[in-house]
Structure 1
């Protein structure tokens, strides 16, 4: 299995280069492609910053990616959780940090919005420092 870069995933999503889209579709017909958590962080950032997508649309597309035939999305169930939090207003990269740390005993931050964004069903306890 090969892993793909952000630009490959983006071609699937935005389909803004027909030749590149065909190349990606051909790959998907012949093999399963791995999408890492780090690539997903960048995909969300590019969709928001370069394409001006709203968080709800981005969250929906990220969720669809987790079920797309031919893609092996790392921690797909947890990515769906993070996309749901994104749709509710959380920072996607912060939520993916929690996903990546989920086997730890906790996550420590000074960022109060990260803790709020994670919600009650976070994959691990989030501790906010500097709060009395």
Structure 2
């Protein structure tokens, strides 16, 4: 099995004709993802991929969801903790930040999820009925 990094996935999913390095690396990333027999994608790579696609390439929630749905559907790709990622993706589609959704899914066995992040996160999670309850401590 071969593990892959965020940049391999970003090059596979994003065509960036204005970046000569991206133009050179994209065919290599395509070859890796289409010709390798067994690939492993760490959970942290998925989290970083969302950040790269959103912050650097301007992907919206739906675009990111399509990427992850495609990736999870590839039979030769083993994504660490893919059920939590799939669940977090659904929450992301419903308006939660992907990282926050993934954090909640990782802590779903807990009663409370404390966060100073913002009250919007807590309100949105409550509206969606997500467990654990997000609480802003005071």
* Partner in structure 2 of residue 80 of structure 1: 86
Distance of 1:78 and 1:112 partners within structure 2: 23
Q: Kindly report the root-mean-square deviation, in angstroms, between the aligned alpha carbons of the 2 structures.
A: 2.3
* Partner in structure 2 of residue 58 of structure 1: 64
Instruction: Using structure 2 for the length normalisation, give the TM-score.
Output: 0.76
Instruction: Using structure 1 for the length normalisation, give the TM-score.
Output: 0.79
Pair 1:21 & 2:26 matched: yes
Structure 1 regions of 5+ residues with no counterpart?
Answer: none
| 1:21–1:32 Cα change, 3 Å | farther
Q: Matched residue pairs, number?
A: 129
Conserved? CA contact 1:85–1:117, under 8 Å: no
Distance of 2:26 and 2:37 partners within structure 1: 15
Distance of 2:5 and 2:107 partners within structure 1: 22
Query: 3-state DSSP class of the match of 1:27?
Result: helix
Structure possessing the higher radius of gyration over alpha carbons: 2
* Partner in structure 1 of residue 19 of structure 2: none
